[in-house]
Amino acid sequence: CFPSCFLPCVLPSLFSSLLVSFLASSPPCFLPSLFPSFLDSLLVSFLSSFSPCFPLCFLPCFLLCFPSLFPSWCGHCKKLAPEFDRAATRLKGSVRLAKVDCTTHSETCGRFGVSGYPTLKIFRYGRDSAPYDGPRTAEGIYQYMKKQTGPDSVLLRTKEDLQAFVNNYDASIVGVFSGADSSRLAEFLNAAGLLREQFRFAHSTDLQLAEDHGIHSECVLLFRPPRLSNTFEDSLVVFKDYLTIGSLRRFIRDHIYGLCPHMTLENRDRLRVRDLLTAYYDLDYHHNVRGSNYWRNRVMKVASKYGGRGLTYSVANKKDFLSELEDDFGLGTSDGGELPFVTIRTRLGHKYTMREEFTRDGQSLERFLDDYFAGRLKRYVKSEPVPERNTADVKMVVAESFDDVVNDPDKDVLIQFYSPSCPHCKKLEPVYRELAHTLYYDPKIVIAKMNAVENDVPLGYDVQGFPTIYFAPVGKKDEPVRYEGGRELRDFLNFLKREASHSLVLSGSKDEL
């Protein structure tokens, strides 16, 4: 189970050959007995210090590494750092977490295809296994990586095992089969292997475990969390259709969250693939389940009247989303008092807020929903003020002026999304200004930029790092082209010559470059 590819670059060839032969013949869990913990740590530190061989991790019975690849200036990286460190402390002894500063170790980051920051990858047995696409909080990282170390699906032997498994903070998916040779069991385990990072799986080969739930044949049982039990829906959903990985995935997706799930920092991205209403208030399902369900029950009572209209519902802890409420919806932390904030975020990125106080009888929420479905609500857009004068060669764009400038149907537009603190953006600035000056007399093209920190980025533009540059050509405003070329003037001009809807005008004359 031990990779040999790293050894020649740090060890003399003879010792490398001997050690590779020895390790290759050793059982998977040899490390705890071979190395005392202090020697293990020294060896890891020694080997990891060689950037061509980084990363490498030693874990009991499981070799897994979770490096965060980042440059020291990155704001997102600085935000992640304390969460990453707290997760590392909690995971000590089971999963090793490591960091690489890409400004110092650019060769290492380049070999692993790092193009944005922070980049997180999972390594198994010293090799790049998969990108990490889980939550970025300490709790989320901890839960995600703990799931990496256990079995894909837990074997349940008794009804007591079943009860203990489903009596959990999270939902549970339990397959009940007629025997170990069941073809459905094999497919279930394959699905569990693919979906284990998102959901909890268990299985049994004793059909009697499902009898208490009125089931006497092979099936999959989805148990919603006991803390979210309510009178508006069943806590148990049964899957009896033909079992494939795809059909089970769809079943879980359609039923696991129920009418009004608890949205967290860890599951918000999965919930927001649909139009979503969220009520934010002081909830705490760890210490006050009944109190946390007070407002949730009122949301569900209203939601049950608007079923089938394409809107989903959730509740969330206001304290977990304070910065998002302020930055994305313009809601101050003191707004609303003890009453819930209510927002709607559509899958297209449109945002709405309920300005009326949430009444205990639910009438204000019903009025809000009536206005939403009737199209009477005004969208909230985070935007800097529209510039009074915009006469520079590079046109400044804000969210409020994006449609007028970038989506002008008569002009090709190159738009740069930047952050004021990004050094790469500052380095690009003189080249970008020169480009705009070169094309200043071309009436059919605009060179523009937008502060993506202070303005909402429109749908269709994927901005994960800075600078990010897109080209919105005439006739294809809904299909912007991401610029992936070099950062010199001629690189940009060659790109625009190829993509523009017209021949470029340089310095006042037509020029075919």
**Closest by Cα among 92, 104, 88, 131 to 49:** 104
> Is 102 a residue of the active site?
no
Query: Which pLDDT value is given to residue 93?
Result: 81
**Mean pLDDT of the region 346-369:** 94
**Closest by Cα among 194, 197, 192, 210 to 120:** 197
In the set 57, 65, 77, 102, the catalytic residue is 77
Asked whether 68 and 100 are in contact (CB, 8 A), the reply is yes
384 vs 64, residue with greater confidence: 384
C-alpha angle 217/147/184, rounded to 5°? Answer: 25
Tokens standing for 318? Answer: 């206001």
Query: Which pLDDT value is given to residue 336?
Result: 53
**Closest by Cα among 473, 467, 429 to 451:** 467
pLDDT confidence band for 34 (50 / 70 / 90): very low
**Mean pLDDT of the region 270-289:** 95
Query: Which pLDDT value is given to residue 72?
Result: 59
Q: What pLDDT digit, counting tens, does each position of 94-137 carry?
A: 888 888 888 788 888 888 887 777 888 888 767 777 778 778 88
Asked whether 150 and 203 are in contact (CB, 8 A), the reply is no
> Is 422 a residue of the active site?
yes
In the set 53, 65, 74, 219, the catalytic residue is 74
323 vs 408, residue with greater confidence: 408
Question: What does the mean pLDDT of the chain come to?
Answer: 84
pLDDT confidence band for 53 (50 / 70 / 90): very low
> Is 260 a residue of the active site?
no
Tokens standing for 365? Answer: 């929420």
Q: What pLDDT digit, counting tens, does each position of 371-409 carry?
A: 999 999 999 999 999 999 999 999 999 999 999 999 999
> Is 9 a residue of the active site?
no
- Identify residue 295 by its one-letter amino acid code: W
Coil, helix or strand at residue 306: coil
11 vs 148, residue with greater confidence: 148
Q: What is the DSSP string of 96-145?
A: EEEEEETTT-HHHHHHTT--SSSEEEEEETTEEEEE--S--SHHHHHHHH
- Other CB atoms within a 10 A radius of the CB of residue 213 amount to 15
Give the relative orientation of helices 138-149 and 75-91 as an angle to the nearest 10 degrees: 50
Single pTM value for the model = 0.65
Cα–Cα distances (Å) from 441 to 300, 438, 510, in that order, read: 59, 8, 10
In the set 102, 109, 260, 425, the catalytic residue is 425
Please tell me the distance from the alpha carbon of residue 71 to that of residue 100, in angstroms, as a whole number: 8
**Mean pLDDT of the region 148-170:** 92
Q: What pLDDT digit, counting tens, does each position of 208-237 carry?
A: 999 999 999 999 999 999 999 999 999 999
In the set 57, 65, 260, 422, the catalytic residue is 422
